[in-house]
Amino acid sequence: MNRLLIAGLILVLHGCATRGPDTTDYSPTTVDTSAQSRARIHTELAAGYLELGNYGIAIQEANEALKVDPNFVSAHNVLGLVYMELRDDRAAESSFQQALRVNSVDSDSNNNYGWFLCQRKREKESIKYFLAALRNPLYGTPEKSWVNAGICSRQAGDPVNAEDYFQKALRLRPTQPQALQNLADMAYKNGSYGEAKAYLGRVQRDASSPSPEYLWLALRVERKLGDRNAEQSLAFQLQKNFPESREARALAAGQYE
């Protein structure tokens, strides 16, 4: 998930011409476009180094961006994600909060801070930030925050809202794989194996290469439905493509539940 957040930030940066949609205290005539361009380049570099796991240089590049433009929201976001990876929760939270102080309606800032809170077992607190991200009509990937809200609601023991959030993600993107796989897993746990298989079938049509999580869930669904050939085919794929995964180990041990 963190890699998806990083990728999303890079996409935002490539299309970034202003600080964001909040322009109430911002005059286009006073923008130093060359400074903003430098800030964007440093932030792109920071995001790239973060993706490579080179956290020290990522921090340096993000701080260079903030020297040029202290209000460059994406740089604060990258710093938050770096510190999140480093488990420096105080610095991560400070960075996300600073991004929101600069632009309280920035969707990526709200989404990323919400994900940070969810990962730190503050799920109920996280939901309001995902919903805040969704209130921005300029948000380019709202299905992402619906999925995150669903994941964190499940984690908080709230399956009713979780299912609602996943369904809302699917209304925006019918092939959203995380929403489909979560709904399939929820159906499986409820004993609705045919429904689980239907959701997984929609994931499969959109996926170029199945993940070990997908294969393991699909295998167990087919096992419950009594299709031994399908079960064995999925087991073969799991063992061949992901032999070191925890799912393959569970299969070898016969731990289906």
User: What's the pLDDT tens digit per position in 123-171?
Assistant: 999 999 999 999 999 999 999 999 999 999 999 999 999 999 999 999 9
Whole-number average pLDDT of the chain: 88
pTM recorded for the entire structure: 0.83
| Structure confidence by residue, pLDDT tens digits, 214-224 | 999 999 999 99
What single string gives the DSSP state of each residue in 93-108? HHHHHHHHHH-TT-HH
Are 188 and 172 in contact by the 8 Å Cβ rule? The answer is no
Whole-Å CA distances, 150 to 102, 115, 170, 182, 245: 27, 11, 12, 9, 25
Are 208 and 217 in contact by the 8 Å Cβ rule? The answer is no
- Domains with residue ranges and CATH for the chain: 174-257 (1.25.40.10)
Whole-Å CA distances, 192 to 1, 45, 171, 189: 27, 46, 22, 8
Taking alpha carbons only, the member of 65, 72, 67 closest to residue 46 is 65
Cα gap 32→191, rounded to integer Å: 59
Q: How confident is the model at residue 35 (pLDDT cuts 50, 70, 90)?
A: confident
Whole-Å CA distances, 163 to 134, 144, 156, 166: 17, 15, 13, 5
- Taking every pair of Cα atoms in the chain, the longest distance, rounded to a whole number of angstroms, is 68
The terminus-to-terminus CA distance of the chain in angstroms comes to 24
